[in-house]
Structure 1
Amino acid sequence: MIKLVAIDLDGTLLNEEKKITTETQTVLKRAKEQGVKVVLCSGRPLLGIAHYLDELGLRESGDFAITYNGGLVQKTDTGKILSEKILTKSDVVSLYALSQELGVPMNFIDLEKVYSPAPPAGKPSLYGNIMKALPFVSVSMAALPDDLKINKAIFCTDQQALDQAIEQIPEFITEKYTIMKSRPFLLEILNKEVDKGKGLQALGRHLGIRADEMMTLGDQENDLAMIRYAGLGVAMGNAIDDVKAAAQFITRTNTEDGVAYAVEKFVLNQ
């Protein structure tokens, strides 16, 4: 029996206009009314998904969200953190040096703001085009406080340049951190203990819900861990091939209410 449904946002819950359709809203609210935990699971911060939580009625006591790709598990009504995995100042300094070597811009993010160190000449970050929830602040790497707690670092640039940079990332870096694409032009670098599957595991322990009582829905590389973790992993019809290969079921696309279709099939009719 499915007791928890975890849903990615972009390319999954949201259509191409970045909206949740009326049909999908109705289905998810029905699932919640039946006692199923509906959990948004995103690379965004809590502030970045607040309006979607409001639309779905997921800001009440007992509602949770997984943010920063599993780096944070939070109560949505208060923002209280149940689980948190961070990067340190040393991590950020090392990753910034790498970004300069690779010739790509880097930003890093905490709970309140996006830090913007100097990018390589002529290669500004594109992250401001998609991150609207948090303010951007320019920062000198030499002036960072020692007790810095960062939730993730990102490389955001045009896809061709990013893909070329990814090929040059040293093996010791890929072994030290969790590194994943959440969009074709956005690479996220997180604490090694972070992915959406581990975030779900932490939430499941808190709620007393097992992996085989969970359904997950996603479309991109950063959704793979939760697709593999859950008893029922569902790939969107528009998902990348790796996600489809890992899933137990492929639903309709995000422009065809694929989330609503899967929730009706496996949750409302269970």
Structure 2
Amino acid sequence: MSSYKLLALDMDGTLLDNEHSISQENRRWIAKAREAGITVMLATGRNLPSVMPYFQQLELDGPLVTVNGSDVWLRPGELLQRTLLRPEAVTELVRLARHCEVKFWGHAVEGTFRQDRWPDQEEAFQWFSFAVHSENKENLEWIRRESLRIGAFEISNSHPCNLEFNPPGIHKASGVGKVCEMLGISMDEVIAAGDSINDLALIRAAGLGAAMGNAQEEVKRAADTVAPANTEDGVAVLIQRYIFGLE
């Protein structure tokens, strides 16, 4: 057995295959890790309602990090920490997105809103994150550049065509760090796996940072190891190698 005590998993592009399912092998080895005393948690850009079916499928009962670190849960229903965007910052980000005519959405305590059903008054809601999507890289770069005039954000992505905005200093690493404080362990005792820029801070902070074979190149360069792709049971392979010492 290894000295690692916590396994933090991104969902889309990491734990989930391209059909958004958890493979049998990944489920089997996650169960084995938990039986061996490893805390397995999800650290995702998704909001809690979209995480819960997978949380229940894996029969997890512990901590999780949602909306890229804006919410940290001791367990579902028991919030450990919440950090929100300023509503006026969201209003300005919406203005930028509409100027470029790109797709956009936001996660709020009250639900997820998209550009075709966007609320009239952003200040009436509690916002976790805001995101835009465009295949036009110039649009994304312009929005990134202009967003810096609005104020400080944690800017990442879960896809190369996205920009995702969280409160400054809030990311998956800050969320998992809070969980480690609660568990009385260090980040050196964490294995973290992911595929996108919103996983980068966590991969760098973890004792073992793993990029999936399908990860963005910047994530691979920052990782300690590269696992097989999300379509090749990469999470199961990580558990076998680094928790059970199998090849």
Normalised TM-score (structure 1): 0.84
- Does structure 2 retain, via aligned residues, the 8 Å contact 1:45–1:111? no
- Does structure 1 retain, via aligned residues, the 8 Å contact 2:129–2:165? yes
Q: Residue 42 of structure 2 aligns to a residue in which SS? A: strand
Q: Distance in 1 between matches of 2:130 and 2:13?
A: 22
Which runs of 5 or more residues in structure 2 are unaligned? none
| Counterparts in 2 of 1:174 and 1:38: CA distance versus 1, 3 Å | farther
Which runs of 5 or more residues in structure 1 are unaligned? 118-123, 125-136
Q: Distance in 2 between matches of 1:98 and 1:87?
A: 16
Residue in structure 2 matched with residue 52 of structure 1 by the alignment:
54
Moved more, 95-104 or 229-238: 95-104
Residue in structure 2 matched with residue 42 of structure 1 by the alignment:
44
Residue in structure 2 matched with residue 33 of structure 1 by the alignment:
35
- Does structure 1 retain, via aligned residues, the 8 Å contact 2:84–2:129? yes
- Does structure 1 retain, via aligned residues, the 8 Å contact 2:43–2:66? yes
- Does structure 2 retain, via aligned residues, the 8 Å contact 1:236–1:258? yes
Q: Distance in 1 between matches of 2:229 and 2:98?
A: 38
Q: Does 1:254 align with 2:230?
A: yes
- Does structure 1 retain, via aligned residues, the 8 Å contact 2:190–2:207? yes
Q: Does 1:242 align with 2:215?
A: no
Q: Distance in 2 between matches of 1:14 and 1:187?
A: 21
* Residue pairs, 1:141-180, within 5 angstroms: 143-145=121-123, 148-157=125-134, 159-160=135-136, 163-168=137-142, 169-170=144-145, 172-173=148-149, 176-180=152-156
| Counterparts in 2 of 1:101 and 1:203: CA distance versus 1, 3 Å | same
Residue in structure 2 matched with residue 21 of structure 1 by the alignment:
23
Q: Distance in 1 between matches of 2:49 and 2:8?
A: 18
- Does structure 1 retain, via aligned residues, the 8 Å contact 2:90–2:130? yes
- Does structure 1 retain, via aligned residues, the 8 Å contact 2:44–2:66? yes
Normalised TM-score (structure 2): 0.91
Q: Distance in 1 between matches of 2:145 and 2:57?
A: 42
- Does structure 1 retain, via aligned residues, the 8 Å contact 2:90–2:122? no
* Residue pairs, 1:14-163, within 5 angstroms: 14-58=16-60, 60=61, 63-76=62-75, 78-116=76-114, 137-140=117-120, 143-145=121-123, 148-157=125-134, 159-160=135-136, 163=137
Q: Residue 17 of structure 2 aligns to a residue in which SS? A: coil
| Counterparts in 2 of 1:236 and 1:104: CA distance versus 1, 3 Å | same
1:264 aligns with one of 225, 240, 245: 240
Q: Does 1:222 align with 2:221?
A: no
Q: Distance in 2 between matches of 1:40 and 1:51?
A: 12
The number of aligned residues is 242
1:11 aligns with one of 10, 13, 16: 13
Per the TM alignment, residue 69 of structure 1 is displaced from its structure 2 partner at its CA by 0.8
| Counterparts in 2 of 1:107 and 1:16: CA distance versus 1, 3 Å | closer
Counterpart amino acid of 1:258? G
Identity of aligned residues (%): 32
Q: Does 1:232 align with 2:231?
A: no
| Counterparts in 2 of 1:254 and 1:89: CA distance versus 1, 3 Å | same
